[in-house]
Each structure stands twice: as structure tokens, then as C-alpha cells.
Amino acid sequence: MRITLQGYVEGEGEGEILYYDRYLSLYGEVDPSTSVIKPLGVAMAGKILVVKGIRGSTVGPYVMYALYRRGLQPSGIIAESIDPLLAAAAVLSATPLASIEAITALPQKGRARLIVKPPSALLEVNRS
Amino acid sequence: MYLTRWEERAYNGEYGEALAVAMKLLVSVGEVLGAERLIDVAHVHVSGISYDNIGDAGLEFIESLYTMGGRVRTYSTYNPSGTLLGGQGSDGGGFMEKQLRIINALRGMGFTESATCIPYLVLREPRRGEHLAWGESSAVAVANTLYAARTNREAGPVALAAALAGRTYYWGLHLDENRKPTVVVKYSGTPLDELYAGILGYLVGELYQGEIPYIDAPFTGRRSVISLCAAAAASGNTAMCIVRDYSPEDHGRPGEARDKLALTRRDLEEKREEISHADISDAELFYTGCPHHPKSFLQELYSYIAAKAPHGLKKPMLVSIPGVDARDEAVRKVSRALARLGVHVLPGTCLVVSRFRESYRVVATDSLKAAFYLPRRHGVRVVLSTIGEYVAQVKR
């Protein structure tokens, strides 16, 4: 399955899809030492994070930077809404960033590869 | 992105390594968002300076810009830190030493002494229409909503880059066309105090991500509107509201809106119940001052508690105020008087970004911003309460 997306931060990443159908506060809702998204209890390190967008504190991008320094950043991020905090978090963590109008159009699980070459991006999903 | 000749040279490192790093970050983020150029800013306010929040990675990021020779190019201030300003450490383990390294790096780069999240009240009042680069979510919403100044929600590291460059990317709320209300929230009921304005903000933030809400509601004063802004910027990503009777850019209810919502006191009471995870009798302390209270609040608080609880409180109350006021003799005097009643003043820090809360499990607060972060960041249970309710519960 191949899905065309809008591309924002260039790069390629591969991993299991981690689907979070909400807005995420990187500060407070993500453990900066483990990358665990607390409301889900699942780490985002090495995953393709699919999320509605970012909310909360402007300190959040420092959390993503700290994860990057530990090698615990996601392999890629796909969001409905690209705001200054998500843009900064992706740039600081060298994480490929793409967007789609509604994340409900994406599969919620499976192994995926995200290839971002702004202004477009491609998501390849292997459901098996 | 179009860059002027000076910006291009700065980007290429001709004016030093720190400025080059800052320019590259600003341009990268700006290009991701689709900005076409940069714009000068009159005031930068950076978030993310508490060591408790940013850890070694953040410390090294800030310190590296300083050691590379970074200097601010516009008036620049910073948020509360993880310790009392110039005061006692909050624990061992190198926390204090690392926090001071962050503060020293900021001072070395030319930041003005501040340690507060209300720069608009105590440091420099924003002017209508001027461009800022602020990275404290509550202050961003207040600057846009109450002062009609223009700033996006800058990430902490990006605001720091803007300080060194004296500019930020020209995008989002810097542009006229993005400052119009997109949804309408009507509240019918008695004027909203700090607590209930915060509850309304919490709801608005959750419901309307990425929107500019028009708030048609009565408030008891500007502090309540600040509480609304802070809560909406925590539970959501609200960067600006238009508040009837308070926002300079209020031109009346918009004719067209993507959504309209009508709320009553009952809706806010239900939300209060949902957010509170304990009973007021379980609270081990009360916390107020998120965002910081101005120093004038301390005398009001003293008068109130001295009248309502002349023998003091059985359980403590903590109040956060700006760090710049820590050495003010009048503040010290009223702080000593408050301490005798069981109220402790925290200059330059707060319960969210420090480690003062570590020995507490249940905190009562009138701050919805604190109520959002304390459980998520620190595993603390919160109960929403006014100062009056708490004082009535714990007076001797």
C-alpha cells in the first residue's frame, strides 16, 4: 500500500506505525528518557508516529531533541497539522515529517517506510 | 526563503558560529512552515530554561551557543527556572549547579534578568502590532490576545535562535490575514474568576486546536483573561483569542465561523469535576501563580488571609512570583509576613518546572495550566479550588 503525502522535513525512515488519534504534548505526555507516550504506554523510538498534531508547552521540542541525542526519536512523523512546535521538533531531531489532511485515512498498524522529499512524501505500508 | 545580504552572511557563518547555528535553525523551521522571509523582532522571550525540563541535552544546546560566542541582538528575557532565583537549591545531584550553568549562559549572551512567565506585566509591555518571538505558551496567547502584539508559539530553542538573530520567520500570526477569529464561544453566566476562566480556557484549548476562538463572556478582570489564555495554550495549542471587551483587535462577533459553542456554568462545573482527581480535604498544599502573580498580589493575599485566617493555615500555600522581584525589599517584607501564616513565596520558579513538588502527592490549585502539567509531568493528583475554598478548609 502506497500513500502520497505532503512533505515537510526531508529524510527517510522505517518502522512500525504508532497511531495516536489525538494532539500530543511532547512536554508532559512523553517521557524524555524513554520516548514513551504516557497515555499510550508505548515508546515512539524507531516508530512512524501518526498523530493529529502537537499541543501544550513550547518546551516540547527540547524533549524531542533530548530523545534525538539518545537515539530515541521516531523514524518519521505524520500529522494533520504542522505548527511551529512540530516543525521545530522535527528539524531539531532530524526526523522526516509529512502531513495528511485526515490521519484516519492511514492504516493504524503495520510496518511502514516514510520517504519525504518536500513538497511531497510517500508512505509505503506493509500490513503483514 | 529570501534572505537579505546580512542574513545570508550570518547564515554562512561570517559573523560567528553561534549566529550561523541560530540562522540555520530559524531558516529551516521557517521553510518547513512556508515562510518567505524573516522579520525583525522587538522582544524575544525564551522558554525551556529549567534544567528539570530540558536536562543535559538542553543545557548543552544553550551552553554551546554561549561558548560559540552567541550574543542577543534584541531585548531578550527568559522563563522561570528550576530553582529560586539566587536562592536555595531544591535538591542535590548537581541540579542546582546545572541550573546555574543555564542561567549563566543566558546572562553571558546578554539576556535581561527575568525568570518569569509574565514578561508583559513586569519587564516590557508589548505594543500593538509589533513583532515578537516568544516561547512561553501562556505569554504568547496573552501577547496576541490582550496586547495585539504578534508572535507565534515559538519552540524554546527557536526563540533562543531568534534572540541571537534578532529576527524570526515571517509567518502565521505575524500576518494580518491569520489573526481573525475562526470559531465563536459564548458563555452565559456570572463573570468568570481566575479559576473558572481557566476552566473555560481548558475546554476551548481541547476543543479548538489550531483555531482563533472569539470568546464572548464576562470576566472579573485581566488576570482572569490571562488564566483563560494559559489554560487554552496548555490543553491545546491556542496562540490567540479575541476576547470581547478585552482584545484590542475585537471587531465584534465574526459573521462567519467554522463552529459556534454555547456554554453555561453547568458545563464549567462538569469540567471542574472531570479535571479534579481528589477531594480538597486530601490536598497537601495549595499552589497559585501559574502564570506568575505580579508582586502586588502578595499584599492583597496577605490582607485576605490575615482577615480570613488570622491564626494561619494548617497546610501550606505556595505562590510563584517573578524572579526579578526577589530582591525587592517590600516583597521580602510581605513574604516574611505571609510565611508566618503558612504561605510561602517562590520567586523566579514554579511548581511545574521545579522539584518542589516531589514530596507531595495531592495539590490543590486555581491554575488550570498547573492542573494540566502536574499530573502529566510529575504524577501529582490535582484538585481545583479557589484560594477562598482552600483557606476555609485549612485555617487554624
Interface contact flag, A57 B47, Cβ < 8 Å? yes
Find chain B residues with C-beta within 8 A of A83's C-beta. Answer: 153, 210, 237
Mean model confidence pLDDT for chain B: 95
Find chain A residues with C-beta within 8 A of B25's C-beta. Answer: 88, 91-92
Q: Where is average pLDDT lowest: B146-155, B181-190, B346-355?
A: B346-355
DSSP state of B294: P
- Taking the domain A2-126, which CATH number applies? 3.50.30.10
Rg of chain A over Cα atoms, rounded to whole angstroms, equals: 13
Q: What is the mean pLDDT of residues A15-38?
A: 97
State which amino acid sits at residue B128: R
Flag whether pLDDT at B216 surpasses 60: yes
Q: Does domain B5-176 have CATH number 3.40.50.20?
A: no
Do B48 and A59 form a contact (C-beta atoms < 8 A)? yes
Q: What is the mean pLDDT of residues B116-144?
A: 98
Flag whether pLDDT at B117 surpasses 90: yes
CA distance B110 to B150: 23
What are the angstrom distances between the C-alpha of B89 and each of A9, B94, B161? Answer: 40, 10, 29
pLDDT at B360: 87
Do A75 and A46 form a contact (C-beta atoms < 8 A)? yes
pLDDT at B26: 98
pLDDT at B353: 86
Flag whether pLDDT at B133 surpasses 80: yes
pLDDT at B90: 52
Residue B365: closest CA among B338, B383, B342? B383
Flag whether pLDDT at B115 surpasses 90: yes
Q: What is the mean pLDDT of residues B199-208?
A: 98
The tens digit of pLDDT for each residue in B221-242 reads 999 999 999 999 999 999 999 9
What lies within 8 Å, CB to CB, of B149 at 6+ separation is B126, B127, B128, B129, B130, B131, B132, B143
- Please give the residue of chain B at the shortest CA–CA distance from A69: B57
Flag whether pLDDT at B203 surpasses 80: yes
Flag whether pLDDT at B92 surpasses 70: no
State which amino acid sits at residue B205: G
Mean model confidence pLDDT for chain A: 97
Interface contact flag, A85 B57, Cβ < 8 Å? no
- Taking the domain B276-394, which CATH number applies? 3.30.499.10
pLDDT at B88: 52
pLDDT at B84: 74
* A88 near B CB under 8 A: yes
Q: What is the mean pLDDT of residues B82-93?
A: 61
Find chain A residues with C-beta within 8 A of B154's C-beta. Answer: 58, 84, 88
CA distance B278 to B273: 9
pLDDT at B377: 87
Flag whether pLDDT at B307 surpasses 70: yes
Interface contact flag, A58 B377, Cβ < 8 Å? no
Flag whether pLDDT at A127 surpasses 90: no
Find chain B residues with C-beta within 8 A of A28's C-beta. Answer: 372-373, 376-377
Interface contact flag, B153 A85, Cβ < 8 Å? yes
Do B246 and B219 form a contact (C-beta atoms < 8 A)? yes
Interface contact flag, A92 B25, Cβ < 8 Å? yes
Find chain B residues with C-beta within 8 A of A97's C-beta. Answer: 32
Flag whether pLDDT at B361 surpasses 70: yes
Q: pTM for this structure? A: 0.96
- Taking the domain B180-274, which CATH number applies? 3.40.1060.10
Residue to mutate among B209, B350, B353, with most A CBs inside 10 A, is: B209
Q: Which pLDDT band holds residue B93 (cuts at 50, 70, 90)?
A: low
- The full set of domain ranges for chain B reads 5-176, 180-274, 276-394
- The full set of domain ranges for chain A reads 2-126
Sign of CA dihedral B362, B363, B368, B369: negative
Flag whether pLDDT at B173 surpasses 80: yes
Nearest to A27 among B53, B57, B237 (CB): B53
Q: Which pLDDT band holds residue B68 (cuts at 50, 70, 90)?
A: very high
- Please give the residue of chain B at the shortest CA–CA distance from A39: B376
Residue to mutate among B158, B175, B203, with most A CBs inside 10 A, is: B158
The three three-digit cell numbers of residue B334, written as one number: 510581605
Residue B182: closest CA among B256, B116, B266? B256
pLDDT at B91: 56
The tens digit of pLDDT for each residue in A65-123 reads 999 999 999 999 999 999 999 999 999 999 999 999 999 999 999 999 999 999 999 99
